Structure 1
């Protein structure tokens, strides 16, 4: 049994494309289409009725391990404690990032809910990579605890051989797991191993997660008893499963920082049958793989493969052993730790004015960071995320089971934590990716990759083919022009917000004509379900208050429909314009009659403006395709001809700006109604001499979406009932006391979902400290190249 062969391979390369054998071909087909992995950073996980569940969305593209630049449609669903869908939002992602919130209104009757994030594309794959997080709704009601019905303590004790099975008459590594009824690990007082005669032959222990291991020589037909002695006096016993007399087993050593050792062993009873057969070791991670075949030789029982870790990708790698028929026999997950995986940032704070606190976040990397930060009281206990961005992107895509406190392994990394992580992976068994599926059932593209929403429109009356249709929405800052064919049109990849207004107008020879089509939207909801494994068996675990929930906030009644009032944003004109020479008009119904357009208003003010594509006589102001101000708009008497006005400098090109964005021509002015406009500025750019040939500037500012909700429906506009959720600005309800126990344990000080910092710079923001002398800042995020950030700062 001491005879072995060492295969020292330093430098074998990745196989990224399909090659000769069925392993490579099948692997390439199965992982050819990339997976999406979503993660939601919540500001906390326990909420009062009347608050909002705030979240920042990150989408990872599994092949590149970077933010998914092309993913755009993320469905975030809310389920009750029984797994019944309550609500769903379609969140727009831009460059793999998005944000949103759920209002906890009076319709929330339960105390436990689950938040799930997924995409339509993810349904093509067997493996579930959706994000799921339980959230608690705090209540002052007295709650019955279902666990209190039974005083008997329940435990689970498992023996899990490394690789998947035991091999007789050789050394085996056995992973050990001790858990309680709540799936939490148990640290044992003492562990002993007895042979079949009852003799103690060895001891073992478990860490804080109830994980341990033992290396043991397993004799043929022998059965070994493991005893776990607990602190409460209970003794758990478990016996080893029967060992295979013939075959191979696996042992992986990951303690060396530079070299990974993969050892395949057999026994004397197996060697005669194995001799001259070629087995394969495959090291893979869904993106690429390394392959090493080896052949069993006479009197050689052990084959070790030494792999330089610098050649392996950082993070989880899967090691699979195949026999000569390419049948997978053994599998083990390992974690390769590298400095490129996780990075740290710096956070400093200073008191600014009174209760204001200035926070400075420093990005030490030579690339941009995309971060989000939740700021909570230092005694907060209402934030218990199941996963961070690190465990969501590094562990969850590969592991089938639930992991207790996965972020322990990645914060303040140490050799002990890496050892504990290796114990976890020993006990995980086979990875999430089933080889039967890889060989026989590659994913089929049944669910399309979504980019925005597709809108199809049709008219109930005949429209000339190829006629130009203007589609625009002030609520969405959206405008496009398309053509009509067979009385139909289509808009692809639109990102219109739900419950906003959209307008339509056909382009005629002289002006646009308002029309109203019938619209059909592509799918904006995702049929969703919550897998049973995500539901907690005992949902009654949320905290109850002794205080009345109505006393938590200053005015609890208004929280069902919160109205956020912000200071009106001042209109900011470009720097090159001398504002003192611009006339200002606050638009009201008294200026012109209802239903008038911006073009009507300008003509009313003395600017006789012609459309730039007009076929009429140019005598009143179209010069080289530019709209000009006629003589009477400049206060000049008489009516000289065009050439005379050009010589005198009286013809002036117009420049139109809507919300500081310059538009080409007057077409938008003809379809923009005054009841959508808040203010209009107009005047000449030149202040020195009115005869100078400067342009006339017109700055038009539209009403805010809140103002537009009061505008009456018009015959050429529709309210979009389906679309993306509108992201709100963060607010926190006014607590009755920021020194109360409720706020200290479950309140939130601030939420910053878009803390994006350019390379090697810092970013400052100021918050209201809410009278807190100390607080916790939790920061999560990712860099442009895929480096992950998860840190907590006590300040």
Structure 2
């Protein structure tokens, strides 16, 4: 459990007429004790998950593939998540319709995959959204969102931007304007397209100008205002004739002002109360992602108090500083960003800066921590053609997402700007962002609530199958019936669920991939066969994110990208040798039904050798199912152990040079490696078929057969019967390998032009114990600048990014 730091500071005096108090941060008293305790409980019982998606580029053409890497973190330190095993990924059009959705298997916090775009997909702005089921407890706005452009020259549509009124909001520092106290007032101007717009204006007291303001290019800025008693102020926007009423000032209260200078090692907090305020003291609480850095009780008897908090008390990210009254009611709140410069450093090096077309490129990657020590990290790399895809230095990265965007309300424009050290004003602009964007995670009110609601959505360790169990004869729902599930791939697995009062059932935490047929067997409470129907519909969470409906006119670079995309598709079709089809005549296959023999554990008969396992301690204590056979059946030779075992059954032939026998589990064929997941103590018996006894299996049994049969209580759930239904379900996506040509080995393809926009995509780069990794790929026919972008996260949860470039010349 993470405990809040309890530190002590010196008391001091500020020269002049104002006393300067450096508050002692001692063990917290009520209400801080309750709040800190609630934060500790939150961190241990409800660790927060975040998803970040790294894609190979920003723009796509219809018919292309979006390559992506998913990073799933949990807890305040952003460590790779071991909670959820399932990540949901959706592609949503501008109408809010989910046009693609996938389930990603993430047992260790990472997953890779692809979205294959249809050639007929209309041009437009699309949204990539990702989340886990556990994240739904925090609301849709906490999901990962990334807007993408998809171009299609055949269905091109452009948006004519209209000049409407701006949405201008004003944010007094700390939360409220108070009469007689000077305050900072931040503002943000948003256009009809949802993006920030540059504005200039004046603050008016009636017709009198008392202040002027001007925003940055993202529509944000700040000005000072001293509200007077009984006055109402308005903002007038130049060149638009638009006026906005400012928030009304309070007659009594406090103003909390914070100075977070990059040149200072401390955060300076100033709290000032009105003369008519009855507050004698305030409680202060400072926390980052639920980690309490400091807490204290500050004396307000002199109507003003100053507090310093060393920045070392906080991890990197957004710190929330709250002033509360004696009952725990928040009086003022302010966000500040703390940068400890402790993120993972990634360097990429090559042996030269200029390469030839189709030449092999090797990139050596090294990851280090703040102290320069090697770091074990998981990373992804995208290499793209700079003449087709723009390099956006201010775009979202894993660093800006985890530390900034995922912690704030609303859309953050150009988040990478605040992490680019070449931008000299980034700290100043970042502080303005802190003043304008609201907090949305764990709140003080939640902390003080003694009856916090239980999470609605569960942590998913696998996939779920939902459906209804009904009576075969009258189709009525069956209550307290059982539905048994069997899957043999990738592991042999069986589970059972009970139906509720309206026949509904859910089977959770299943592991299966792609489009899979599973066996579900339904029974009533009396053991009679029942009908199983599954719900195959996709239930997507509601969407609150604004997606611009149509594309604006493409830039010259985007037009070049579209032209090259059309050329690439034409080249691919011209050289696609796999596109030909051969139609075969209808073939009728006749067979003879084999009735299930009676009084035997197998429908294939007694076999050559049968061995009882259940009840024999020496057998039940074996480590692997094959250990039951090894040395116990004449003519069966087993070498090796576990999944690497080699089996030879004498007296049989071989098929396709393979000597591996057919392996059965309850009469269903499985892979040899799947036996690793079958506990020996659950095996009732096994049967071996060899020689003439294998004839019943046809060609499948040419190398002999070994069948394992589970105990009755498990066999009821997984043994196949004529009543079982094989139903098709969609499992986890199987990640495909990015195609990267190897020209020295493919002389026949020299005539094929190479116009790749993405030259290389490597989603699973793992550094070794020295923090190093290497990748290699081949250039295209481009003669331009090539860019590479690396993103990743260390085992301890430190994100990192890196960019490199080189030139391709003839």
* TM-score, structure 2 normalization: 0.69
Following superposition, the deviation at residue 479 of structure 1 comes to 3.8
- More off after superposition, 754-763 vs 370-379: 754-763
- Which 5+ residue runs of structure 2 have no aligned equivalent? 1-13, 472-483, 499-504, 522-528, 581-591, 595-606, 615-625, 651-659, 673-702, 704-719, 742-748
CA contact (8 A) 2:185 2:223 kept: yes
Following superposition, the deviation at residue 95 of structure 1 comes to 0.8
**Structure 2 residue corresponding to 1:260, chosen from 239, 257, 267:** 267
CA contact (8 A) 2:93 2:127 kept: yes
Using the alignment, how far apart are the partners of 1:170 and 1:187 within structure 2? 28
Using the alignment, how far apart are the partners of 1:732 and 1:354 within structure 2? 11
Using the alignment, how far apart are the partners of 2:60 and 2:361 within structure 1? 24
Query: Are 1:375 and 2:383 an aligned pair?
Result: yes
Following superposition, the deviation at residue 182 of structure 1 comes to 3.3
Using the alignment, how far apart are the partners of 1:130 and 1:750 within structure 2? 28
Query: Are 1:182 and 2:198 an aligned pair?
Result: no
Tell me what 1:244 maps to.
250
**Structure 2 residue corresponding to 1:212, chosen from 187, 196, 221:** 221
Using the alignment, how far apart are the partners of 1:264 and 1:347 within structure 2? 50
Tell me what 1:87 maps to.
100
**Structure 2 residue corresponding to 1:303, chosen from 302, 305, 309:** 305
Query: Are 1:361 and 2:365 an aligned pair?
Result: yes
Query: Are 1:317 and 2:319 an aligned pair?
Result: yes
CA contact (8 A) 2:260 2:268 kept: yes
Tell me what 1:388 maps to.
397
Structure 2 counterparts to residues 87-236 of structure 1, below 5 A = 87-106=100-119, 108-109=121-122, 111-126=124-139, 128-141=141-154, 143-148=156-161, 150=162, 152=163, 154-187=165-198, 196=206, 198=208, 203-223=212-232, 229=238
- More off after superposition, 328-337 vs 46-55: 46-55
Using the alignment, how far apart are the partners of 1:301 and 1:660 within structure 2? 77
Using the alignment, how far apart are the partners of 1:292 and 1:762 within structure 2? 45
Q: Secondary structure at the match of 1:363?
A: strand
> Cα deviation per residue 1:33-59 (whole Å; 9 max; x = unaligned)?
112111111112322222212111111
Tell me what 2:296 maps to.
292
Using the alignment, how far apart are the partners of 2:536 and 2:297 within structure 1? 49
Using the alignment, how far apart are the partners of 2:51 and 2:509 within structure 1? 21
Tell me what 1:50 maps to.
63
Using the alignment, how far apart are the partners of 2:347 and 2:533 within structure 1? 43
Tell me what 1:279 maps to.
282
> Cα deviation per residue 1:191-223 (whole Å; 9 max; x = unaligned)?
655655635x55544333232222333322345
Tell me what 2:655 maps to.
none
Tell me what 1:588 maps to.
none
Using the alignment, how far apart are the partners of 1:158 and 1:251 within structure 2? 19
Evaluate the alpha carbon distance shift between residue 768 and residue 135 of structure 1 in structure 2; reply closer, same or farther with a 3 A threshold.
same
Calculate the aligned-residue CA RMSD, in Å. Answer: 5.0
CA contact (8 A) 2:377 2:771 kept: no
Evaluate the alpha carbon distance shift between residue 83 and residue 336 of structure 1 in structure 2; reply closer, same or farther with a 3 A threshold.
same
Following superposition, the deviation at residue 717 of structure 1 comes to 11
Using the alignment, how far apart are the partners of 1:735 and 1:90 within structure 2? 38
Using the alignment, how far apart are the partners of 2:492 and 2:106 within structure 1? 20
Using the alignment, how far apart are the partners of 1:374 and 1:387 within structure 2? 14
Evaluate the alpha carbon distance shift between residue 391 and residue 260 of structure 1 in structure 2; reply closer, same or farther with a 3 A threshold.
same
Tell me what 2:548 maps to.
536
Query: Are 1:789 and 2:792 an aligned pair?
Result: no
Using the alignment, how far apart are the partners of 2:649 and 2:234 within structure 1? 87
Tell me what 1:728 maps to.
736
Tell me what 1:330 maps to.
332
Q: Secondary structure at the match of 1:392?
A: helix
Query: Are 1:779 and 2:790 an aligned pair?
Result: yes
Number of equivalent positions: 658
CA contact (8 A) 1:174 1:213 kept: yes
Evaluate the alpha carbon distance shift between residue 735 and residue 400 of structure 1 in structure 2; reply closer, same or farther with a 3 A threshold.
farther
Query: Are 1:654 and 2:638 an aligned pair?
Result: yes
Using the alignment, how far apart are the partners of 2:223 and 2:762 within structure 1? 47
> Cα deviation per residue 1:125-165 (whole Å; 9 max; x = unaligned)?
347321122233211136443425x4x46544443211121
> Cα deviation per residue 1:416-438 (whole Å; 9 max; x = unaligned)?
21221011101224545555555
* TM-score, structure 1 normalization: 0.70
Evaluate the alpha carbon distance shift between residue 155 and residue 304 of structure 1 in structure 2; reply closer, same or farther with a 3 A threshold.
same
Using the alignment, how far apart are the partners of 2:81 and 2:75 within structure 1? 8
Evaluate the alpha carbon distance shift between residue 166 and residue 215 of structure 1 in structure 2; reply closer, same or farther with a 3 A threshold.
same
**Structure 2 residue corresponding to 1:766, chosen from 755, 763, 776:** 776
- Which 5+ residue runs of structure 1 have no aligned equivalent? 461-468, 506-516, 565-592, 596-607, 616-621, 634-651, 679-699, 701-712
Q: Secondary structure at the match of 2:183?
A: strand
